[in-house]
Structure 1
Amino acid sequence: MKISLGPQTFLSPVPVMLVGTFDVDRKPNVMAAAWGGLCSSQPPCLAVSVRRSTWTHRALLERGAFTVSLPTRAQAGMADFIGLVSGKAEDKFAALGLTASAGEHVDAPYVAECPVVLELLLRHTLELGSHTQFVGEIMDVKVNRDCLSPDGLPDPVRVDALHYAPLVNEYCALGDFVARAFAVGKTVKRQS
Structure 2
Amino acid sequence: MKISLGAKTLAQPTPVWAVGAFDEQGKPNAMIAAWGGICSSDPASLTVSLRPSRHTYAGIMKHRAFTVSVCPANLAAEADYLGMVSGKKEDKFAATGLTPVTSDMVKAPYVGEFPLIIECELSNTLELGIHTLFVGKIIDVKCDEDKLVDGKHPDPEKILPLIFSPGTRAYHTVGQKVGQGFDMGKKYMKK
Q: Could you tell me the TM-score, scaled by structure 1's length?
A: 0.96
Verify: 1:67 aligned to 2:67, yes or no: yes
Could you say which residue in structure 2 is the equivalent of 1:174?
174
Deviation of the 1:105 alpha carbon: 0.6
Write out per-residue CA displacement over residues 128-170 of structure 1, whole angstroms, 9 at most, x where no aligned residue. Answer: 0010000000000000011011343111100110000111111
**For the residues of structure 2 that align with 1:189 and 1:142, how far apart are their CA atoms?**
36
Verify: 1:122 aligned to 2:122, yes or no: yes
Given that 2:145 and 2:151 are in contact with CA atoms closer than 8 Å, whether structure 1 keeps it comes out as no
Letter in 2 for 1:20: G
**For the residues of structure 2 that align with 1:56 and 1:23, how far apart are their CA atoms?**
6
SS of corresponding position for 1:6: coil
Write out per-residue CA displacement over residues 46-71 of structure 1, whole angstroms, 9 at most, x where no aligned residue. Answer: 00000111111111111100000011
**For the residues of structure 2 that align with 1:50 and 1:159, how far apart are their CA atoms?**
25
Could you say which residue in structure 2 is the equivalent of 1:80?
80
Write out per-residue CA displacement over residues 67-116 of structure 1, whole angstroms, 9 at most, x where no aligned residue. Answer: 00011111111110000010011010111111110001100000000000
Deviation of the 1:189 alpha carbon: 6.9
Could you say which residue in structure 1 is the equivalent of 2:101?
101
Could you say which residue in structure 2 is the equivalent of 1:20?
20
Could you say which residue in structure 2 is the equivalent of 1:35?
35
Letter in 1 for 2:187: T
My pick for the range that moved more, 146-155 or 31-40, is: 146-155
Q: Could you tell me the TM-score, scaled by structure 2's length?
A: 0.97
Deviation of the 1:34 alpha carbon: 0.3
Given that 2:15 and 2:163 are in contact with CA atoms closer than 8 Å, whether structure 1 keeps it comes out as yes
Letter in 1 for 2:120: L
User: In structure 2, do the counterparts of structure 1 residues 181 and 25 end up closer, same or farther at CA, with 3 Å as the change threshold?
Assistant: same
**For the residues of structure 1 that align with 2:187 and 2:47, how far apart are their CA atoms?**
33
User: In structure 2, do the counterparts of structure 1 residues 189 and 122 end up closer, same or farther at CA, with 3 Å as the change threshold?
Assistant: closer
Write out per-residue CA displacement over residues 4-49 of structure 1, whole angstroms, 9 at most, x where no aligned residue. Answer: 0110011111111000000232101000000010000000000000
Letter in 2 for 1:49: S
SS of corresponding position for 1:76: helix
Identity %: 48
Could you say which residue in structure 2 is the equivalent of 1:3?
3
Letter in 2 for 1:18: A
Could you say which residue in structure 2 is the equivalent of 1:146?
146
Given that 2:66 and 2:109 are in contact with CA atoms closer than 8 Å, whether structure 1 keeps it comes out as yes
Deviation of the 1:125 alpha carbon: 0.3
Could you say which residue in structure 1 is the equivalent of 2:161?
161
**For the residues of structure 2 that align with 1:52 and 1:58, how far apart are their CA atoms?**
8
SS of corresponding position for 1:8: coil
Given that 2:24 and 2:58 are in contact with CA atoms closer than 8 Å, whether structure 1 keeps it comes out as no
